[in-house]
Amino acid sequence: MIGTRFAHYEITGHLGSGGMGDVYRAADSKLGRSVAVKFLPDPFARDTWRVSRFQREARVLASLNHPNIGGIHGIEDIDGRMFLVLELVAGETLADRIARGPIPIDEALAIANQIAEALEAAHDVGIVHRDLKPANVKITPDGQVKVLDFGLAKALDGGEIESAASASPTMSLAATQRGLILGTAGYMSPEQARGKPTDRRTDIWSFGVVLYEMTTGERLFKGEDMTDTLAAVVREKPDFSAAPREIQHVLQKCLERDVKKRLRHISGFKLLLERAETERVPLPAKSRLRWLSWTVAALATTALIALAFVHLSEQPPPLAGVQFFLDAPPDTAFTNNYGGLAPSPNGRYLVFSARSLSGTAPQLWLRPLDSLSARPLAGSEGGNFPTWSPDNKSILFLSGGKIKRIEIAGGAPLAVADASESSVTVTGTWNSDGVILIGSSAGLRRIAASGEDTLLTKIDATRRETGHGYPQFLPDGKRFLFFIASGDPGIQGVYSASLDHPGEHKLIVRTSAKGVFVPGNHNFPDYLLWMQDQTLLAQRFNTRTARVEGDPASVAENVGTNPSNPIRSAYWASDAGLLIYFSTAAAAKRRILMLARDGKQVLEVPEDSFMRVALAPGSEQIAVAKADYSAPQGNIDVWVREFSRGVMTRLTFDAGNDDFPIWSPDGKQLAFVSNRDGTSQIYIKDASGAGKEERLTSSPGLKFVLDWSKDGKYILYREQNPGTGRDLMAIPVMPTNGERKPITVVQTPFAESTGALSPDGQWIAYASNDSGTNEIFVQSFPGTPGGPSGRWQVSSGGGYDVKWRGDSREIYYESLDGKMVAVEVQGSPQGIRAQQRRELFSTNFTRNSLREFDVTPDGQRFLLIANPRAESADHLTVVSNWQAALRK
């Protein structure tokens, strides 16, 4: 950026960065002066809401023409870059000055008076700063004070500032259900920290905090992390004892917790300052001695009385819950909202999976809650299902068919155990003895510190169990809670067991989603969090008896639940009382695009909650799986859309999830997977909607439909096998001797995730992770006359979902870094030979997801589901001390 010219502005240096823009020094050649220019970040430039807010900041600043307020010269939009042209203020910030030590009282009051002048000028025209702090105050070399960054300000309406749906430039916070939290934690007013409406009195509170810090060199409100600081602001009575005596009454009026008793206008500060000056007049010597003796006696008596009173009667102030939103890091989006996150046990860190919007593979990120930024964990590419160590220093995660361990302090990850993505399905738990439990489709796996890996619990097929997951050790480190998934709603729920007696399962609560145990802390009791529909409930939990007690209470509404797998609800909680969750929101809506081979858009289907897409023979229709998030636990149905009329027709209507639709070769039927009978089975139905569905399968494993052979004989599908994980199977469409017997297509100890049959019926292309990364392979389809044995790799650098061209001469797959790749292949009696490999275009589809793209038979058009635009990305809700709300 340095040296870049925008019209008559040349960038000469970088001054800093904030949540709403990067600030640079620039030379204005037209007027021969130096200015500061504030650019809107590129990812935000496409966001009309943020652009509007940026323009509002310009208008606000322009209305504040005052010698103690940093001015604005203009707003420019040049070559698609929007920026403010600001007064370049020389000197250091007040934060820099305080860092050198307490400011002498005379100097501090002179600075405070100029800050008050700036606030008074802003308040008089109906503007509130809402982010006043030392870093936003500059002191020029000649001692003039300039208050900067009124970017959070909003014009008063009727004399009051109301919370607006905008984010803070200094904290990644956003609107809550009760209002908005803006500003920096230690300088917020109590009402601001609670997300309540704010007015000019919130600036007066911040002013008092800044005044205290100037005169003492110490922060008034501080904690080990951001949530502790916010809690201190909300619950602690400010202690002014370290401040100079003559300004303590000033601080008391500015820092009244009851906003009605607080100083109502900053102009009153001048009168308080006059009183402070009066109190600084020295007393005569005799008066000082007499005053000192009486003061010492009075203080001693008062101290003894106060000590006795505190010892006998003082109750600690109750902890208050604080709620806010967190966004993904700039230029990224959260991935796997149902399994890619975890708070550390001490509540100080979040680990989450996010992907770059430019198309790189997802990886794990670490966000300290007392920091404004997150950092990627090197070596965690493709990481999923993170689990924290009990000492908060390490993370286990699943990646490339391995369970890996990584230190948050840095270093390469180490492989702990083998695990395909199919055999390990949910997060785990880790006790102080180093014993790790991981969920899987076969049961809970126990991994010892030595690396020994054994199956601790086993699923019971007679109870229609399909997996054990979400284990969590209780405080004794021996007993644990876990979730049993089953096709029988009477069986499915949260259970307890122990390392000594893992086969003795005790039902805690019946629920269709995971449960989370939260140990008691800060005078809060032990709780079990569990889901009822999309409401998160908390119920007291007796760890001695392993039973819930009393009635459950609602903690959060509309918590996200995976429609395809409701077990994976999008919430997590730490031992320290930190709750995080994703809500079911409009962000789930995505567009369907038709792209040419060069990536140019040919057609767009308006966004909806699309999950799967299949192009009909003739390319006149598409079948989609579409989620209804308003239904309890969500519901998925199959729909058909006609391109010519743009009409969507619903094909399935039952209460179960109907997913993964594919067309028969003649376009007259659709096959799909449904759990309407309690287990995952394949059905076919007339594409017109007439008649009843016909069930084809009966085995209990989880199934995903992948393809329908062009001769109409077989439906290819993926099935979860307790012994070998994800396998590729085929079911005959027409029964033989009254039955349909599935055939095994690809079965290995590794995970076969996706597959597609060549139109000529000779080959199957599929993804397998036996090399540690999903790659695309081709082998003969079973039963092909004279088909060669063996398999041939056609991808390079990883691949996932796969399709064939109509002549069986080209394969298309999604690369792991977001590219659509085409590979020319040549079949022969000796096997498949991959020839030219080309990257066609980059796109914003969901990585490692099934059936989210299709291709026309000629290979010239690609149909795919695009992820939400950046402005509709998910927000993570964070609640500290969530238990406090249950007392109300």
The predicted pLDDT at position 19 comes to 53
**Cα–Cα separations (whole angstroms), residue 797 to 354, 381, 726:** 20, 13, 21
Longest distance between any two alpha carbons in the chain, whole Å: 117
The predicted pLDDT at position 712 comes to 95
**Cα–Cα separations (whole angstroms), residue 189 to 117, 154, 158, 192, 194:** 20, 17, 21, 5, 9
Would you place residue 205 in the very low, low, confident or very high pLDDT band (cuts 50, 70, 90)? very high
Evaluate if pTM is beyond 0.85: no
Question: Whose structure tokens read 């003894």?
Answer: 304
Strands (E) across 19-100 are located at 21-28, 33-39, 72-78, 81-87, 92-93
Instruction: Produce one character per residue of 580-604: b if its CB has 16 or more CB atoms within 10 Å, e if not.
Output: bbbbbeebbbbbbbbbebeeeeeee
pLDDT 10s digits, 614-652: 999 988 899 999 988 666 556 889 999 998 888 889 999
Distance CA 275, CA 291 (A): 19
* Domains (range + CATH), the chain: 5-87 (3.30.200.20), 92-279 (1.10.510.10), 590-867 (2.120.10.30)
- List residues with catalytic annotation: 131
| DSSP-derived secondary structure letter, 161 | B
The predicted pLDDT at position 181 comes to 41
Residue 275: pLDDT above 70? no
Q: Which two tokens stand for residue 213?
A: 């810090």
The predicted pLDDT at position 426 comes to 55
Mean pLDDT of the residues in the chain: 81
Question: Whose structure tokens read 């049993």?
Answer: 484
| DSSP-derived secondary structure letter, 98 | H
Arithmetic mean of pLDDT, 140-166: 56
The predicted pLDDT at position 61 comes to 64
Instruction: Produce one character per residue of 235-257: b if its CB has 16 or more CB atoms within 10 Å, e if not.
Output: beebebeebbebbeebbbbbbbb
Arithmetic mean of pLDDT, 24-49: 76
Closest by CA position to 486, among listed 459, 516, 504, 458: 459
The predicted pLDDT at position 401 comes to 72
pLDDT 10s digits, 295-340: 444 444 444 434 444 444 444 455 566 778 888 888 888 887 788 8
Arithmetic mean of pLDDT, 230-244: 84
pLDDT 10s digits, 672-729: 999 888 788 999 999 999 888 999 999 988 899 999 999 999 999 999 887 787 899 9
What is the number of helices (H) and of strands (E) in the chain?
A: 10, 60
Would you place residue 52 in the very low, low, confident or very high pLDDT band (cuts 50, 70, 90)? low
Phi, psi of 69 (to 5 degrees): -125, 130
Give 309: exposed, middle or buried? Use CB within 10 Å, 0-12, 13-18, 19+: exposed
Q: Please state the length of the chain.
A: 888
Q: How far is CA 304 from the centre of its chain?
A: 52
Contact 643, 622 (CB under 8 A): yes
- Mean pLDDT is highest, among 69-78, 232-241, 657-666, 792-801, for 657-666
Closest by CA position to 238, among listed 225, 227, 249: 249
Would you place residue 464 in the very low, low, confident or very high pLDDT band (cuts 50, 70, 90)? confident
Distance CA 166, CA 257 (A): 25
Q: Which two tokens stand for residue 125?
A: 């025209």
